[in-house]
Amino acid sequence: MDRRTFSVMLAASGAALIGSRAAGFVPSSGRPQPFIRRGPRGDLLRDGRTFRFIGANMPEVTHIRTDWDLEQGDRFRLPTTDEIDWIVEAAAQANFKVIRTWCFPSFLQPENPASTHYFHRNPDGITVTLDEPRFRLFDYFLARCRELGVYAQVPFVFLIGVDQWADAAGDPHPQLLDFVEKVIGRVNTRTGVRYRDDPTIFCWESGNEAKPTARWIAALAAFVKRLDPNHLFMDGRWGASDIYDSYRDPALARNRDIDIVSVHTYERRPKGWTNPRMIGELNRLLRAQGRALDVGEIDPNTSVDELAAILKATIDGGVASASWWSFKGARAKGGYTHWNGKEWGGNDDLKWPGFVSPLEGVKVEKAKLDLLWSAAYAIEGRRRPAALPAPTPAKLLPIRDVGHISWIPGTGEQVADVERSTRPDGGFAVIASAFETFRASTYDLYCDATAEPGQRYYYRIRSRNSGGMARYSNVVGPVAVPARWLVDDLWDLEKTSSHSRACRIESDYDLVPYHADLSVLTSTDGEASVIYGLAGNLSTLRLISNRDTASLFIEASADGRSWSPIRTRRRVHPPFHAEFKGHPRITHEADGLEAKAYTHVRLRFGREDAISRVELSHA
């Protein structure tokens, strides 16, 4: 490809969401991938031809790190097979040839609960025990990668320093070596293929963001190569300065067991270089030694223009690979997992393929995804397709009532249509068109506010994006309707019957102070209030607020004039992460209210309150 065409190929497509192609993503044939080899000049080879790629850091294939589920009580958990499917399908759709898994979580990450640990140290100080249920999930991940033609880049452990994995002599700790040996020798319970014989694995990486001694990394590389001569070995480092200094040392410059070295772009102006120059300098150094450079994590603080420059330097400079940190995926209970960290640039959680929305932050995410998608083809000398592949079908989840309808988005979904019928085999009509799934603050995505009490309904979902439409989801029903529902995620004040002037809606795709709540209702100054008018008698109430204050009052009225406080069951959920500045999330619940004949609900709140969701059922 003419290198000058890359800038043109980086332009966003931005087509309107009017696709009519009733199709879905078509996976590869599932034939085994060839092993990736290293050529004499440091180039990577696939079947003798140059192999270069844009990849994706997708740590949620081993553990979900940011599920803000109030009932769960912890943001960490293991993924489900549905969530793994979504992530691998997203990589395949985007032509991201390699998924980097980040690490196998373990006891070395104190914030991770033991339920997510993939191995445990034994008391003998020499051996470890693999956690079989966790590794069966990893077996499933590798099997799905094989089916969809995606490679896996597999770091062994979470490092950031190697002291915890070094013995007294400075060599790799016996328990690390035992873990490595057991992983390499594991037989996949899905495919029957031993890991060391599985070409789906692109390479073994020492770990995440290490700064090892030459002795330590050379010993680990030699150990891995003795056990597994089929796969490449990557020195998983962090800083460019460390790499430049370490690999000018003859101790590593002459090493033949290390095939690839990974750099992450978090170091600010290493050696005074810009990121594009840093990539070029490291690539020249390593290629002269017959090894490849991997830009393993592109800092999520990276702006759109900076990302374009990094990708151009990677492609034009003959660098083997580059991968964004990081991608998030669909959530098993519905919707998506979120991070939305202002500290990390607000885009630490790209969600393929990006959305089409006026909400602040969405356009930036979409621009970055378009750059990465274009680069994934340009690095192979190809032009990106003009249109997105149509999404895979959504998976509609069991529905407990019409106020809480949820689905796992189709892979590639930008919006969804919700359809309803009184019978399972036809007669469906659209009740919500182009619904933006990402907006939901909980895993309950949609409320059917028009459902008639006494009816029984069937529902289905159709995912779509700018490239086309998916096949319909499964049908769920019949769903009985004993009461109407009003659910307000507070993106605006349209569902209120009245509100005071001091009410303010604060919405942002990167609204980090409020967990996964991307929009909240608060006050500009002093006390504010909203009133919800109901068509029947209030039955149940649930409200989610942020911050624990004494200024929030929940009241009800039978006539809209005289108000009585509602006594609620109040649960305080501690903040999931230090970045939330100590702000807890509060749920307020009440039921059995029919006898009161309340037809209005009033919320009074102050400047410190931030209300993110109101749920009211009424007979």
Distance CA 427, CA 336 (A): 30
Distance CA 206, CA 221 (A): 8
Q: Given this model, what pLDDT does residue 159 score?
A: 81
306-312 LR contacts (CB < 8 Å, sep 24+):
306/275, 307/368, 307/371, 307/372, 308/7, 308/10, 308/371, 309/274, 309/275, 309/276, 310/265, 310/275, 310/276, 310/279, 311/6, 311/10, 311/54, 311/371, 311/372, 311/375, 311/378, 312/6, 312/7, 312/276
Task: Kindly list the domain boundaries of the chain, sorted by start residue.
Answer: 36-378, 395-482, 498-618
Q: Given this model, what pLDDT does residue 556 score?
A: 98
Helix (H, G, I), strand (E, B) or coil at 146: helix
The partner residues of 506 in beta bridges, in order of sequence, read 520
Per the document, the length of the chain is: 619
CATH topology of domain 395-482: Immunoglobulin-like (2.60.40)
CA dihedral 78, 404, 521, 335 (to 10 degrees): 40
Mark the ranges of the chain whose per-residue pLDDT is less than 50: 1-5, 8-27
Closest by CA to 362, choosing from 347, 383, 378, is 347
Closest by CA to 156, choosing from 132, 124, 188, 178, is 178
Distance CA 441, CA 432 (A): 18
Query: Which single residue is written with the structure tokens 């004494």?
Result: 550
Q: Given this model, what pLDDT does residue 239 score?
A: 95
CATH topology of domain 498-618: Jelly Rolls (2.60.120)
SS (H, E, C) 447-489: CCCCCCCCCEEEEEEEEEECCEECCCCCCEEEEECCCEEEEEC
Q: Given this model, what pLDDT does residue 31 score?
A: 63
CB 519 within 8 A of CB 438: no
472 burial type by CB count under 10 A (0-12 exposed, 13-18 middle, 19+ buried) = middle
CB 432 within 8 A of CB 324: no
Q: Given this model, what pLDDT does residue 348 score?
A: 66
State both tokens at 324: 């964004």
CA dihedral (213, 219, 223, 224) positive or negative: positive
pTM of the full structure: 0.94
Closest by CA to 420, choosing from 433, 429, 411, is 429
State both tokens at 511: 């609204």
Query: Which single residue is written with the structure tokens 């490809």?
Result: 1
What is the amino acid identity at position 491?
A: W
State both tokens at 489: 């995620």
Helix (H, G, I), strand (E, B) or coil at 506: strand
Helix (H, G, I), strand (E, B) or coil at 133: helix
What would be the CATH architecture of the domain defined by 36-378? Alpha-Beta Barrel (3.20)
Per-residue burial over 531-556, b = 16 or more CB atoms within 10 Å of its CB, e = otherwise: bbebeebbbbbbbbbbbeeeebbbbb
Distance CA 564, CA 558 (A): 9
Helix (H, G, I), strand (E, B) or coil at 235: strand
